[in-house]
Amino acid sequence: MENEIHYCRTESGWLREFCETPEMQRLKDVGMNCGCEYTSFPRFRNLAPYSRYRHSVGAARIVWNFTGNREQTLAALFHDISTPAFAHTIDFLHGDYLHQEYTEGRTEKMIRDSAEIMGLLEGYGVPVEAVSDYHRYPVADNDSPRLSADRLEYSLGNLQNYGLRDAETLQSYYDDIRVTIAPDGAPELAFGDAQTACRFALDALQMSKIYVADEDRYAMQRLSELVGRAVEKGVLTMQDLYGTERPLIEALCADEELGKAWRQFTALHEMVYAEAEAPAADRRVIFAKKRFIDPLIAGRGRVSEIFPAFAEELNAFLQTSQEYWVCAR
Tell me what pLDDT residue 103 has.
62
**In the chain, which residue ranges form alpha helices assigned H by DSSP?**
13-19, 22-25, 42-45, 52-67, 70-77, 89-93, 107-112, 115-124, 149-161, 167-175, 194-211, 214-233, 245-254, 256-267, 303-306, 308-319
User: Mean pLDDT across the stretch 187-215?
Assistant: 98
pTM greater than the 0.85 cutoff:
yes
In order, the DSSP letters of 196-242 are: HHHHHHHHHHHHHHHHTSHHHHHHHHHHHHHHHHHHHHTSS-TGGGG
- Cβ neighbours of 48 (radius 10 Å): 11
pLDDT per residue over 62-73, tens digit each?
999 999 999 999
User: Bigger pLDDT: 311 or 3?
Assistant: 311
pLDDT above 90 for 90: no
Grade residue 9 by pLDDT with cuts at 50, 70 and 90: confident
pLDDT above 60 for 192: yes
| Nearest CA-CA partner of 204 in 281, 292, 144 | 292
Tell me what pLDDT residue 121 has.
98
Tell me what pLDDT residue 106 has.
87
pLDDT above 80 for 169: yes
Complete domains list, the chain, with CATH: 13-213+290-319 (1.10.3210.10)
Grade residue 172 by pLDDT with cuts at 50, 70 and 90: very high
pLDDT per residue over 255-277, tens digit each?
999 999 999 999 999 999 999 99
Q: What is the spatial distance between Cα 328 and Cα 42, in angstroms, rounded to a whole number?
A: 13
How does the average pLDDT of the chain come out, rounded? 94
Tell me what pLDDT residue 4 has.
84
User: Mean pLDDT across the stretch 86-90?
Assistant: 90
For residues 146 and 182, is the Cβ–Cβ distance under 8 A? yes
Q: What is the spatial distance between Cα 244 and Cα 313, in angstroms, rounded to a whole number?
A: 38
User: Bigger pLDDT: 26 or 98?
Assistant: 26
pLDDT per residue over 263-314, tens digit each?
999 999 999 999 999 999 999 999 999 999 999 999 999 999 999 999 999 9
Among 94-103, 196-205, 214-223, 319-328, the range scoring the smallest mean pLDDT is 94-103
pLDDT above 80 for 95: no
pLDDT above 80 for 253: yes
pLDDT above 60 for 1: no
Tell me what pLDDT residue 46 has.
87
Classify 177 as helix, strand or coil: strand
| Cα separations in angstroms, 154 against 31, 250, 285 | 12, 28, 27
DSSP 79: G
pLDDT per residue over 33-60, tens digit each?
999 999 999 999 989 889 999 999 999 9
Grade residue 118 by pLDDT with cuts at 50, 70 and 90: very high
